[in-house]
Structure 1
């Protein structure tokens, strides 16, 4: 076992080349697959990668430990970082889906495997500490702007809609009809912006961060890699998994993270937040916004 684990895909490849001759036949099969199929290692579950490599999942785990990693997830993160740092070819993803449909692999199960993996990577001690920090910053902020355009607008809308029920100081930034600067102008020191964006990164989201940063607004960023253009200057950065066989980055981890942050705000915020939720629910029911079950 190496004294220190590799920190890049190139170092992984070099380490495998250096120890290859000493590996058992099964570990050599695993190493061959790792060297030849880095994309699959990045996005597939350990079970699917092991099946494709014609080894057992425990063999892939032994190979990761041989290279100095404490777990297979740490090993796979090297591949995910390398893959996510490059541009995503949406047309290529779509073509891959068509190819999957013509094999014994099932698209439905592939999506499920990856979804569980993405969520599993989210719930770590490091992320838990950052969720608490993000919640504390939100609770201390005067106003909170939420930014996410195109594919991440659903995340931003969910964050703002659910968040405003307990915290009325949260505002969704829509940026429609050239109104981005006007919407962001009221935010300054003591305020906070939550920005969500994955590769391919939206120019409007980057611009929104530039505007708020210039006004002294702190940023919480939810993105897919530390190389993201949204990261520089952020007070808190969440680097989450967006892997999927689908042709666009998955937002599942982002939605789950959003719910964790908002739950933390209510759990550790003032009692007034609970009162706000109660008042909102009562008002909606009084207005006939919900259909009751009989």
Structure 2
């Protein structure tokens, strides 16, 4: 109890506080199944939360940038590295020259130096924010790149340099940041980009399918 009180309002202990809430939740009925049910309901509430904040003009602007930019680079670290990888893979299915910002691990400064004005950098992070991701957004914008931020609130440090910012809640009983609503948002945004690309997206997908078949990658 003393430990929980000490960390209750300290952002440094975000994960411990989340885990403490999880452990303090009483088990009722089939407790194992209820863990799934609770998280599913919380994710649905987070999806409703971002739907209520969507701006049509910003969605159109981001969609056009992602469809037309010469290069797109995606940056997220720690837990958001998984989201960055997901975005990179799926966007790369429908257009060319999409990559993680620092895929070769040569450093973000080197990676940003390879970009030109008009290229797009997507940055993703939520509280507790990763300082280096916010810095990448700031430097990219100053370097002439169009920055798209996927974050959690208007007070996020990723917002000031962003041309377009989208706000995804992550409140849940998960001991870390809940990513379910982030994935739903990204899937919908990717659908908009595919629709914007039209035949180009279809041709890209067909070319990928041909290579998958030629290399006998998939099973049955």
1:164 to 92, 95, 103: 92
Q: Which residue of 2 aligns with 1:95?
A: 20
Offset of residue 185 of structure 1 = 1.1
2:140, 2:190 → 1: CA distance?
22
1:217 to 145, 154, 175: 145
Q: Is the 8 A contact 2:75 2:133 kept in 1?
A: yes
Root-mean-square deviation over aligned CA pairs: 2.2
Higher helix share: 1
1:199, 1:169 → 2: CA distance?
30
**1:183 and 2:111 aligned:** yes
1:170, 1:230 → 2: CA distance?
21
1:251, 1:128 → 2: CA distance?
23
Q: Is the 8 A contact 1:101 1:107 kept in 2?
A: no
Offset of residue 286 of structure 1 = 1.5
Greater Rg by CA = 1
2:105, 2:119 → 1: CA distance?
24
Q: Which residue of 2 aligns with 1:288?
A: 216
1:176, 1:266 → 2: CA distance?
27
Kindly tell me the number of residue pairs found equivalent between the two proteins.
208
Q: Deviations over 1:51-103 (max 9, x none)?
A: xxxxxxxxxxxxxxxxxxxxxxxxxxxxxxxxxxx836210110111111456
TM superposition score normalised by structure 1: 0.65
2:26, 2:35 → 1: CA distance?
7
1:265, 1:175 → 2: CA distance?
23
- The structure, 1 or 2, with the larger RCO (C-alpha pairs under 8 Å, 6+ apart) is 2
Q: Deviations over 1:168-204 (max 9, x none)?
A: 1211123665521112211121111111101111122
Larger mean Cα displacement after TM superposition, 117-126 or 152-161: 117-126
Q: Is the 8 A contact 1:97 1:107 kept in 2?
A: no
1:253, 1:234 → 2: CA distance?
21
Q: Is the 8 A contact 2:152 2:170 kept in 1?
A: yes
Q: Is the 8 A contact 2:137 2:162 kept in 1?
A: no
**1:139 and 2:67 aligned:** yes
- Where in structure 2 are there 5+ consecutive unaligned residues? 1-9
2:35, 2:25 → 1: CA distance?
6
TM superposition score normalised by structure 2: 0.86
1:195 to 123, 126, 131: 123
- Counterparts of residues 1-294 of structure 1 (less than 5 Å): 87=11, 89-102=14-27, 106-124=34-52, 126-174=54-102, 177=105, 179-292=107-220
